[in-house]
Amino acid sequence: MSNSTIDTTPVPPALRRWFVVHCVADWLFAVPLFFAPEAFLGALGWTVVDPATSRAVAAALVGIGTQSFLDRGAGVEVYRTMLSLKVLWSATACLGLAWTALGGGPPMAWGLFAIFLAFHALWVHYAWQLRRRPLG
């Protein structure tokens, strides 16, 4: 591969830190969701909990969070790909949580919506920032 095709765009150090923060946040939510879904979601106000679905969500959080940590030192192309995944994941999570809250779900659905919305705004910001940077 010649130097003219290698993307030398720097990854902002703050984005690298956010990937680590995201890993920690995902794991903090995933562990109780995986090992005690009824108790954890019950404490958040859910009255009906499907343990299989809860554990599948926990697995997604572990996968995305862990990959964020593993990729924290990667180049810009990996970050662009991971940001695409994070934008899609957070957007659909926002839609699902808002739908749940509007449909009579527990008030904490709005809290989770707010968390996902904040991460979504962060990921969109950095995805946009990395797209606007010229290739090296």
Domain range list for the chain: 12-132
Q: Exposed e or buried b for every residue in 81-107, given b needs 16+ CB within 10 A?
A: ebbeebbebbeebbeebbebbeeebbe
pLDDT, one tens digit for every residue, the chain (136 residues): 444 556 677 999 999 999 999 999 999 999 999 999 999 999 999 999 999 999 999 999 999 999 999 999 999 999 999 999 999 999 999 999 999 999 999 999 999 999 999 999 999 999 999 987 555 4
**Cα of 28 vs its chain's centroid, Å:** 13
Predicted structure pTM score? 0.88
- pLDDT at res. 7: 67
H/E stretch holding 76:
helix 76-102
pLDDT (0 to 100) of residue 5: 57
CA distance 83 to 65: 12
Task: Extract the tokens encoding 126.
Answer: 């950095």
